[in-house]
Chains A and B, each alone.
Chain A
Amino acid sequence: MVETKLLDAEEYRRLCDYLYRHTGMSFTETRRYFVERRVEERMIATGSSSFASYFSRLRTNMQGELEKLINASTVNETYFYREDHQFACLTANLLQERLRVKLPGETMRIWSAPCSTGEEPYSIAIWLLENWAEVDAHDVEIVGSDIDTNVLEAARAGIFGKRALMRLSPALADKYFTPAGPEHWQIIDELRQSVRFTAANIVERAETRPHGLFDVIFCRNLLIYFDDASRRVAAENLYESLAPGGYICLGHAESMSRISSLFEVCRFADAIVYRRPPEAPHG
């Protein structure tokens, strides 16, 4: 290849070490092109003349540069009703199981992390309205969290393109969205008010702890970006964020059993999910 690399091997290693320590995301040589392009964009945006000057800006986090580079480096592609067999499992099994051990009137808490631009937590709200006959009988809190603050802004605004809506039936799209410009739709206000969005880095216990305990966590297609050590930290944090007996749903290519023995695997008709073991021995 004749293309000159923006960073030499040592610079790339230092950058990746730095990102790893602050985000848990592990960028190997195979993702070098992707990382260099993001760095290049940020160097231009900040007027940095060399990588050295950009890196010192990053390390001193001048004008929130770390957050800006993270925002540019995360992958945020998703859509409504993605892997909806897990939502079917949620209403058919997980919520019922949780209700058996919750006190009457206790809020059912569901966490979508990472939530990207909001497709997943909004999908959960729509799914509950459409498919859970007891939706009016329980207080439900849906929280969406992401490390990327730009996507959280987009999630709050709730405006989506055609691709995000591709799996929704026209009837559902019509019921829960209003047109917002060419080929764009905004999710209705009532749904925007039904989901709370917060910033959180899953590998930072100090950032996950304040969110309290959840009954069900959706953490899909995040762990694949981590190396083994970060995955274990993430698994421990997710475990600590689950109520005893609470469930976690991962992406279809992910397996918690390979990462951690904290959870037990549960097979339901629609999905395989993981559970933090209940405290009472009889379960």
Chain B
Amino acid sequence: MADRKMRILVVDDANLVRLYYRQILEEADFEVEEALNGLEALERLLVSPADALIVDINMPRMDGVTFLRALRRQALPLSSIPALVTSTESSATDVEAARVAGANFYCAKPIGREDLARIMAMFCGAPQ
């Protein structure tokens, strides 16, 4: 067992959504950090890295796709943090834009509680 909890950064501009994901993830024994947009997420990651990311697409100041592009240009190991992209947009072009920017996986919202916990456990390689 790891000597610390896996840390997930939730990047979403909606307060209720961040709180909702935080509750699910904390119940599943993750540690949760939050950022309101891509810029804040980049800044936060430079201070304290995360084991995995949950990234919304539509956010003010810096959207999810722009954030991922910027993140993947950073030096290792920062650039390789796995990122789940979540969005209410689920068209093929939205998914493709996220994939090209460096998303590891894409989920259309709403995401079920169990699905979210399970996907993040897989992202972190946490034994189930």
Contact = CB atoms under 8 A, between A and B. Distances in A.
B111 interface: yes
Q: What's the interface size class on A, roughly?
A: 10 to 19
A125 B16 contact: yes
Contact of B19 (A105, A138, A191): A191
Contact of A137 (B18, B21, B110): B110
A135 B17 contact: yes
Contacts, number: 46
B22 interface: yes
Interface residues of B, number: 18
A104 to B, nearest CB: 7
A129 B27 CA distance: 14
B66 interface: no
Interface in A111-149: 125, 128-129, 133-140
B127 interface: no
Interface string B61-97: 0000000000000000000000000101100000000
Contacts of B14: 136, 139-140
A247 B126 CA distance: 45
A184 B62 CA distance: 39
Given A136-B86, A175-B23, A190 B18 contact: yes
Contacts of B110: 133-137
B58 interface: yes
Interface of B: 14-23, 58, 86, 88-89, 109-112
Interface of A: 104-105, 125, 128-129, 133-140, 175, 188, 190-191, 193-194
